[in-house]
């Protein structure tokens, strides 16, 4: 059995983890899958005879997420790489590509590695186009969620003022001679349709993968209240719940934004730790001690460590 840690992007919080775990666990040869919220990665234990990291990355892309391959520090190679740098005693004469090139490929998307994986797997571009943009990093997603929260809050405040949920008389009257129902419809549409989009995307992914998660619950609760209110405004007599749906979404976005902010901080800390590996290492080659890039250290090298040195 072998373990590989794959970076997974565009996760909308914990709600998407079950979908990725279920799809990866269903692949032949996969023994276990563990998602990490801090590093937004999936650690997979698998049988090398039945599958490989490229197949796992393609399956993640099929789920509707982005995968850039295995997560390693930018200046290191994959630990089990068999590529040997030029000049090494065991380097074959026809070898012309060193670890430096390989290290650059580690952070490349699967579409640029191993036969252009992204070209082989259809990606749900429409889903990402209006939600968290395709390939967004954590900080971009935090900013995106903050903007959606602010939009929802700005349009929810006047809704709450016109219908203060049993807290007394309305504090605000509709402008421009609009009826209260129509004014609340326009405000609620602005407060809900754009801010709720990432949850719609996550709920659609979950249903496609046969998973019921928090995103499905959010869409059902907010969507049912909004759609019923629209029907009561234009098609039949009934109670309206614009203010309830809008206020509920504001609190959901606030909580989700705080969660993503915490995840972004944890992710940055983990990546900083991974990048602590020194860029240079001292090794014995041909009976001499030479300094090489950490990416050029391969299995069988004798590494020289002195007091105060970092382990490459």
At 12-53, the pLDDT tens digits run: 666 667 778 888 888 888 888 888 766 677 888 888 888 888
Alpha helices in 29-164 (DSSP H): 53-62, 99-106, 117-120, 125-129, 138-162
Cα first-last separation, the chain:
25
**Range of lowest pLDDT (95-104, 179-188, 284-293):** 95-104
In the chain, pLDDT over 70 holds for what percent of residues? Answer: 71
Q: What is the CATH number of domain 2-63+65-122?
A: 3.30.70.100
pLDDT of residue 175: 75
CA distances for 191 relative to 6, 131, 251, angstroms = 36, 15, 12
> Does residue 72 contact residue 79 with C-beta atoms inside 8 Å?
yes
Q: Where are the domains of the chain?
A: 2-63+65-122, 138-272
Can you read off the two tokens belonging to residue 164?
A: 């203060």
The answer to whether residue 260 scores a pLDDT higher than 90 is no
Q: Which of 15-29, 137-151, 169-183, 222-236 has the highest mean pLDDT?
A: 222-236
The answer to whether residue 116 scores a pLDDT higher than 70 is no
Q: Which of 37-41, 54-58, 62-66, 125-129 has the highest mean pLDDT?
A: 54-58
Average pLDDT over residues 98-116: 41
Average pLDDT over residues 99-106: 40
**C-alpha 180: how far from chain center:** 40
Q: Is 281 helix (H, G, I), strand (E, B) or coil?
A: strand
The CA-based diameter of the chain, rounded to the nearest angstrom, is 90
Question: Sign of the C-alpha dihedral, residues 256, 141, 204, 229?
Answer: positive
List the strands of the sheet with 288-293, edge to edge.
288-293, 280-285, 302-304
pLDDT of residue 166: 56
DSSP secondary structure code for residue 130 in this structure: S
The answer to whether residue 249 scores a pLDDT higher than 90 is yes
CA distances for 160 relative to 102, 154, 170, 179, 195, angstroms = 57, 11, 8, 16, 17
pLDDT of residue 245: 94
> Does residue 267 contact residue 38 with C-beta atoms inside 8 Å?
yes
Integer Cα distance of 267 and 250 in angstroms: 25
Residue 92 exposed, middle or buried by CB count within 10 Å (0-12, 13-18, 19+): exposed
The answer to whether residue 299 scores a pLDDT higher than 60 is yes
| Nearest residue to 240 via CA among 133, 165, 137 | 165
Instruction: Tell me the pLDDT band of 213, cut-offs 50, 70 and 90.
Output: confident
pLDDT of residue 58: 83
Strand partners, 41: 7, 36
């Amino acid at each position: 059995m072998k373990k590989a840690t794959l970076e997974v992007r565009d996760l909308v919080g914990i709600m998407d983890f079950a979908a990725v775990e279920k799809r990866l666990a269903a692949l032949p040869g996969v023994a276990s899958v563990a998602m990490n919220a801090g590093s937004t990665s999936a650690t997979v234990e698998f049988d090398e005879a039945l599958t490989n990291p490229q197949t796992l990355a393609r399956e993640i892309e099929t789920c509707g997420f982005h995968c850039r391959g295995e997560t390693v520090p930018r200046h290191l190679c994959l630990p089990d790489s068999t590529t040997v740098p030029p000049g090494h005693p065991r380097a074959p004469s026809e070898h012309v590509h060193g670890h430096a090139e390989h290290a650059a490929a580690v952070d490349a998307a699967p579409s640029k590695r191993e036969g252009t994986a992204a070209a082989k797997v259809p990606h749900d571009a429409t889903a990402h186009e209006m939600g968290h943009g395709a390939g967004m990093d954590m900080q971009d997603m935090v900013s995106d969620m903050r903007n959606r929260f602010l939009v929802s809050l700005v349009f929810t405040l006047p809704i709450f003022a016109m219908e203060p949920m049993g807290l007394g008389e309305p504090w605000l009257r509709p402008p421009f001679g609009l009826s209260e129902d129509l004014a609340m419809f326009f405000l609620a549409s602005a407060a809900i349709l754009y801010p709720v989009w990432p949850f719609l995307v996550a709920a659609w992914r979950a249903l496609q993968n046969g998973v019921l998660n928090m995103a499905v619950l959010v869409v059902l609760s907010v969507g049912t209240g909004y759609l019923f209110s629209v029907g009561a405004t234009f098609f039949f007599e009934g109670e309206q719940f614009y203010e309830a749906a809008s206020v509920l979404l504001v609190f959901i976005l606030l909580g989700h934004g705080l969660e993503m902010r915490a995840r972004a901080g944890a992710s940055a800390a983990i990546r900083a730790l991974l990048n602590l590996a020194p860029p240079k290492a001292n090794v014995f080659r041909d009976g001499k001690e030479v300094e090489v890039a950490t990416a050029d250290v391969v299995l069988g090298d004798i590494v020289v460590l002195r007091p105060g040195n970092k382990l490459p």
